[in-house]
Amino acid sequence: MAILPILRYPNPQLREMGVPVSKVDDAIRTLVDDMAETMYDAPGVGIAAPQIGKLLRIFIIDIAGDDEPSDLKVFINPEITSLAGSLRWDEGCLSFPGATESIKRAESVTVRATGLDGKQFELEAVGLLAVAIQHENDHLDGVLMIDKLNPLGKRRLSRKVAKESG
């Protein structure tokens, strides 16, 4: 296992499309282990492969609280098949360290994906898990939370990021 460097906005690699995983093999399992170690170290509730420079359609999420056992969910080649309702959630992103933004998302989602065992599964999620799935799935298409903000919010977040990295 290894903790990998997380790419930060505005790194242009964060804008690239993830490629579908053709086979869940040892290389993919090692990558997922490294992603998990990197996410827990950060710490964060989710991370997508493009955030550590791997342009593959994989993200992982663990929304368990500090006092709960870990609950790692692995999504390989995910596809959101339905979205319903709407809500606003204060989101963070490991590629925007220190930033929290109120973002409008669907309240519930259905997602189909392949697991680490190579089998397809379907999951219905609401609330935080639904938000995390939408956020991480966006990373696989090069979409970032800043894209969801209005022009004023985009400028404010860009300035904040520039200040943090300067």
Residues of this chain that interact with Ni ion (CB under 5 A) are 93
Of residues 37, 91, 107, 136, which has the active-site annotation? 136
**Least distance from Ni ion to the Cβ atom of residue 14, Å:** 9
Nearer to Ni ion, 26 or 147 (CB): 147
Per-position DSSP letters for 58-94, written without gaps between them = EEEE----TTS----EEEEEEEEEEEE--EEEEE--T
Distance CA 100, CA 108 (A): 21
Can you give the length of the chain in residues? 166
Q: How far is the CB of 3 from Ni ion (least distance, A)?
A: 17
Which residue, 21 or 47, is less far from Ni ion as judged by CB? 47
Can you read off the two tokens belonging to residue 147? 């894209």
Q: Quick check: is 136 catalytic?
A: yes
The least CB distance from residue 85 to Ni ion, in Å, is 22
Identify the residue whose tokens are 């979409």: 143
Buried b (16+ CB within 10 A) or exposed e, 28-61: beebbebbbebbeeeebbbbbbbbbebebbbbbb
By beta-carbon proximity to Ni ion, the closer residue of 58 and 93 is 93
Q: How far is the CB of 84 from Ni ion (least distance, A)?
A: 22
Known catalytic residues are 136
